[in-house]
């Protein structure tokens, strides 16, 4: 089963969609799941990711 989906499970090239991540943070802040002071940049080290 894993062999069949290996490319989907383990992609060779991965990129984080920062705008999508920001929308998730905004939604979670509005829902009260994250504090208003939360900053996405503090979670992601963009130099390591090559973004």
What pLDDT digit, counting tens, does each position of 18-45 carry? Answer: 899 999 999 999 999 999 999 998 888 7
Report CA-CA distances (Å) from 29 to 16, 32, 36, 42: 20, 5, 6, 15
Residue 24: predicted pLDDT: 96
Are 16 and 47 spatial neighbours (Cβ–Cβ below 8 Å)? no
Q: Is 34 exposed, middle or buried (0-12, 13-18, 19+ CB in 10 A)?
A: middle
Q: What is the pTM of this model?
A: 0.64
> What is the SS3 assignment for 27?
helix
Residue 35: predicted pLDDT: 96
Residue 41: predicted pLDDT: 85
Residue 46: predicted pLDDT: 65
Cα–Cα dist 15/44, whole Å: 12
Model confidence band, residue 49 (pLDDT cutoffs 50, 70, 90) = low
Q: Where are the domains of the chain?
A: 2-49
């Amino acid at each position: 089963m894993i062999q069949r989906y290996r490319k989907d499970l383990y992609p060779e090239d991965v990129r984080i969609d920062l705008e999508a991540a920001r929308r998730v943070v905004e939604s979670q802040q509005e829902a009260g799941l994250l504090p208003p002071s939360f900053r996405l940049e503090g979670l992601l080290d963009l130099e390591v990711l090559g973004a």
